[in-house]
Structure 1
Amino acid sequence: MALQSSVDATVESDRVVFEYTVENVGDAPEEVQFRSSLLADFAVVADGEEVWRASDDQMFAQMIQTERIDADDGETFAEAWDDPAPGDYTVVATLNATGDDAEARTDFSV
């Protein structure tokens, strides 16, 4: 797969907003097959321990779905972490797809 990904964390007064972008940097379209209605997930880690995950305590439809990402195009997924405690963190964003999962991470402070 010719997918490249990045994640941004924007700290606001009462939350952190994450934007995870997956881009097709290849010359041909890519077919991405998702495992469920959860297309992307975000986990926040501090000192090697997971402190928050966007998909925790949620249910997702169990279905296989395919999405085409054209060459030089991409998809962006967003999520927000409400009321985070002050500290230094890393967000890890993953694509919930079969095959090679695209993963991105970035550090941020609250």
Structure 2
Amino acid sequence: MLTSTLSVAPVDEGFEFSLTVRNDDDEPVELSFRSGQRVDFVVERVDDADGTGDGQEVWRYSDGRLFTQALGRETLEPGESLSYGAIWEDPPAGEYEVRGVLTAENVDAEASMVVSVPPV
């Protein structure tokens, strides 16, 4: 069984995201990927008082990025973890749900949390 943990930390450029995936099973888990992409981070606006921001996607790590088009595999041994990160630069003020998703095609692993970006 894989467990996923998302951490979000403010940095000078904006926010740093990190998705950690841990193998809590007694057997190795092989992760299969369709490309060089290993993770995606999605930021959606949380519902405003008037409902205008509900679920609106405002940033996605993979948008505008190119990844190698080669199949890939990674093995997580029992108790082993892998972490993947990204930086969301210059976020606008507001409240957002951040989701980190492992892009392996043979397992589901994701985590989310709500983040508030204060006005500048």
In the superposition, the TM-score normalised over structure 1's length comes to 0.94
Matches within 5 A, 1:8-19: 8-19=7-18
Distance in 2, Cα, partners of 1:11 & 1:107: 13
Structure-2 residue corresponding to 1:107: 114
Distance in 1, Cα, partners of 2:12 & 2:115: 14
Give the length in aligned residue pairs: 109
Q: Give the RMSD, CA atoms, in angstroms.
A: 1.0
Distance in 1, Cα, partners of 2:68 & 2:12: 33
Does residue 43 (structure 1) correspond to residue 50 (structure 2)? The answer is: no
% identical equivalent positions: 37
Structure (1 or 2) with the larger CA radius of gyration: 2
Distance in 2, Cα, partners of 1:73 & 1:100: 16
> 1:59: Cα distance to partner?
1.1
Structure-1 residue corresponding to 2:49: none
In the superposition, the TM-score normalised over structure 2's length comes to 0.86
Structure-1 residue corresponding to 2:77: 70
Cα distance per residue 1:60-99 (max 9 Å; x no partner) = 1111111010101110001000000111111111111112
Q: Structure 1: which 5+ runs fail to align?
A: none
Distance in 2, Cα, partners of 1:63 & 1:105: 28
